[in-house]
Copies of this chain bind each other. A is one copy, B any other.
Amino acid sequence: MAITVVGSVAYDSIETPAGRRERCLGGAATYFSLSASFFTDVRVIAVVGEDFGPEQEAVLTRRKIDTRGIERAAGKSFFWEGSYMENLNEAKTHKTDLNVFASFQPKIPDAYRDSEFLFLANIDPVLQRRVREAMPGVKLVAGDTMNYWIKDHRPALLEVLKGLDILLINDTETRMLAGNSNLVQAARKVLTFGPRMLIVKHGEYGSTLFHKSIPQGQISETFRAPAFPLEEVVDPTGAGDSFAGGFFGYLASQPELTPDAFRRAMFYGGVMGSFTVECFGTDRLQQLSRAEIDHRFQLFRELTHLD
């Protein structure tokens, strides 16, 4: 089944202990799409500026990603500059130029309307909601957000959450959204806001799936997937979006959304995140093969398997 994703397609300048890269292709929708494209058809809704050329578009189209929903606007593409010099788990933002993104009004191509899966990447919740409402027929909706929207755009974000099946955020965002420092209590609270599943990403420690049906004091419907301990992390940018792409892409490829399919999807999410951080930007995702993905999935499984 096809996924439509709305989010940013951007340029990133990134500094990490492994080096520095200027203006590499990035943005949540880019990482998500590339990652999900190994599992299913992906259609992107985004806006780019005049600096987005055929070379950048080919990164997506080579992976058969539908780019008809990427609007070209006068001006420059969204630009982000950040570094991870002290802590590979947390980016320090040096510059954010919204550019054409400041006036982004998502338009949904007719060819996208039969998408059965919808992913609302981390953008203004007002836009997330608009896209959600414009695609009422989708079967499964997942979304991401960040501290900025949680803190300063809470009412709009809460409206989005009502329309989500699955929310994917990290530990800090979960605690912030719930106003509770205990992760299980915070997860339970977030699940009262609308989504029936919450996936909390723990970075190098894996991820946890919480279900709405989780009874007080029980964890029987909780699932935890490990992350892959990596010898070298070159650039953490996009790991979370790659996780989301692997997770949602795998789900979209499944004939039935069984509990086991969700568990495997969590593993695939971790696998895709682990590839992304091996190189700068989307380099690793661009070179990846499905065979490598499935091989690493097996390593993941062995990593935590108990007879």
Contact = CB atoms under 8 A, between A and B. Distances in A.
A182 B233 contact: yes
Interface string A254-294: 00000010011001000000000000000000000000000
Interface string A201-242: 010111010000000110110111110111111000000000
B182 A232 contact: yes
A80 B206 CA distance: 34
A183 B260 CA distance: 30
A222 B229 contact: yes
Interface stretch (A98-106, A114-122, A297-305): A297-305
A307 interface: yes
Contact of A223 (B228, B260, B303): B303
A215 to B, nearest CB: 11
Q: How many copies does the complex hold?
A: 2
Contacts of A299: 219-220
* Max chain B Cβ within 10 angstroms of own Cβ: one of A216, A233, A304: A304
A91 to B, nearest CB: 16
A306 B264 contact: yes
A306 B302 contact: no
A184 B231 CA distance: 5
A67 interface: no
Contacts of A303: 219, 222-224
Contacts of A13: none
B219 A229 contact: yes
Contacts of A263: 305-307
Interface of A: 88, 181-185, 187, 202, 204-206, 208, 216-217, 219-220, 222-226, 228-233, 260, 263-264, 267, 299, 301-307
13 contacts: A183-B204, A183-B229, A184-B230, A184-B231, A185-B232, A187-B229, A205-B205, A206-B206, A206-B224, A220-B299, A223-B303, A224-B304, A226-B304
